[in-house]
Amino acid sequence: MLETVDLCISERLTGVTTALQPGTITAICGPNGAGKSTLLSALAGLLPADEGKVLLDSAPLSAMPPRERARAIGYLPQSGEVAWDVSVANLVALGRLPHGDAGKFAVASALAATAMSDFAARPMSTLSGGEKARALLARVLAGEPRWILADEPLAALDLAHQIGLLKVLRAQADSGVGVVLVVHDLALAMNYADRVLVLDEGRLKADSAPEEALSLDIINDVWGVKARWLGEPGQRALTTIE
C-alpha cells in the first residue's frame, strides 16, 4: 500500500490523507494548479513533506534507501528530458540501474509492451513526441517496479496510442502493480480508472470510485462547469451544458 497521512507541502498541498491499493489504477484529477503533480512527486519520494508523511507498506518512504525506493517505484515525469541522444534500447535499459543488471528480457518486454521494439536502434532525437513518451514509459516498465507513477502520460499520444497505453497499464495493474496517473481527461479517468482522487487548491475533494468522484455535482463544484455524462459504463463521454 502507498499512502499519505495529513500530507502538507507549503502552498501546494494541505492535509491530504489517502491509501492507494496495489493492483489498481488510480487517476489523480483536478484543475490546473490543484496540486496533482505535487502529490505524485510526493508519492514518489521526490518532494519532502512539511507536515505529515508518505508510507510504503506502512514504512516511511523518506527512510528508504534511494536504490530500494527506485526498485519499488517507477516515476514518469510530465516532461521527460533526455540528456544524451542515446538509442531507444539504451534509454530503456537505464530502467534496470536500480537492480544493477542488464535485464535483457525485461527491456525487450518493455519495448514490446509499448510498441517500441521496431524503434530500439533509433536515436531518441529522431522520435516524435508520442514515440518519446512511449520510450520513456518503457524505461519505467523495464525496472519492473511495484508502483508506476506517471504524470500526464497520455498527453502527447494520439487516440490509438492512448488506448494502447491504457491497456498496458491495465495489464500492469492486473498483475498486481499499483498504477497512479495524473489525468486531465475526465472521460478517460471515468472509463479506465478503478479509483479517482480529485484535488482542488491543494485539498482532497473526492477519493472514491469514478462514478462518485466525478459526479456532476463535483465537476460543477471543482471545475465550475455544468456537464452531463453520456453513454454506458466504460464508454462514458462528458459534454457541457450551456
At 162, the amino acid letter reads Q
Mark the ranges of the chain whose per-residue pLDDT is less than 50: none
Domains defined for the chain, CATH in brackets: 2-240 (3.40.50.300)
Q: Detail the DSSP E strand segments found in the chain.
A: 2-9, 13-20, 25-29, 51-56, 59-60, 73-76, 147-151, 178-182, 195-200, 203-208, 227-230, 237-240
Rounded to whole angstroms, the Cα distance separating 55 from 141 reads: 22
Rounded to whole angstroms, the Cα distance separating 138 from 95 reads: 8
Rounded to whole angstroms, the Cα distance separating 200 from 156 reads: 24
Per-residue pLDDT at 226? 93
* Nearby residues of 219 by Cβ (< 8 Å), 6 or more positions away: 186, 225, 227, 238
> Position of cell 519495448?
111
| Burial class, 230, CB count within 10 angstroms (exposed 0-12 / middle 13-18 / buried 19+) | exposed
Task: For residue 10, give the C-alpha cell.
Answer: 507549503
pLDDT digits (tens, 9 = 90+) for 91-148: 999 999 999 887 899 999 999 999 999 999 999 999 988 888 889 999 999 999 999 9
Q: Is residue 27 within 8 Å of 4, Cβ to Cβ? A: no
**Nearest CA-CA partner of 236 in 205, 210, 200:** 210
* CA 148 centroid distance within chain: 6
Please give the C-alpha separations between residue 30 and each of 1, 138, 140, 158, 182, in angstroms, as whole numbers.
23, 26, 25, 22, 9
How is 84-129 classified by DSSP, letter by letter?
A: S--BHHHHHHGGGGGGTS--HHHHHHHHHHTT-GGGTTSBGGGS-H
Q: Is residue 50 within 8 Å of 10, Cβ to Cβ? A: yes
Task: For residue 54, give the C-alpha cell.
Answer: 508518505
Long-range contacts of 228-234 (CB under 8 A, 24+ apart): 229/190, 234/191
